[in-house]
Each structure stands twice: as C-alpha cells, then as structure tokens.
Amino acid sequence: MHIEFDQDACIGSGVCESIAEDVFQISDVGVMTLIADDVADERRNEIEQAVSRCPMGAITIARET
C-alpha cells in the first residue's frame, strides 16, 4: 500500500507518529517526515488509524489502480 502525505497541510501534531513511528517521524521543529511511503498491506488497519486521526487530513492511502 502506498501512503501519500501533504506537507503543506501538516501541523505536526504527532498523532501519526504515535501510531506508526517507523513510518512517520516528527522533527524537533514539528515537521513530519514520511519515513516509508510503501507499507505492507498487513499494516492497513494501523495506517488507516493514522489517516483517520490526522487532524488536518494530511495523510492518505493512495487508491490502487
């Protein structure tokens, strides 16, 4: 599964990092970095939690074509 991230929309809340710290990382200045944009399908529930809990909707799972 491919994760997409809108850096401009992110406010650096850290919710995503608290759910999947090996995928999302918030810097000391509050900027989120997407560490892995391709994640195993087995982690879909975990990533969907990060997507749904992002206060700005900055994270999405790309539609499969």
Q: What structural domains and CATH numbers belong to the chain?
A: 3-61 (3.30.70.20)
Read off the pTM: 0.88
Q: Please state, in angstroms and rounded to a whole number, the distance separating the CA atoms of residues 59 and 52.
A: 8
CA distances from residue 4 to 19, 50 in whole angstroms, order as listed: 16, 12
**Under 8 Å between Cβ of 59 and 8:** no
Confidence of residue 64 (pLDDT cuts 50, 70, 90): confident
Q: Given this model, what pLDDT does residue 63 score? A: 83
| Predicted confidence (pLDDT) per residue in 11-48, tens digit | 999 999 999 999 999 988 888 999 998 999 999 999 99
Tokens of 32: 């989120």
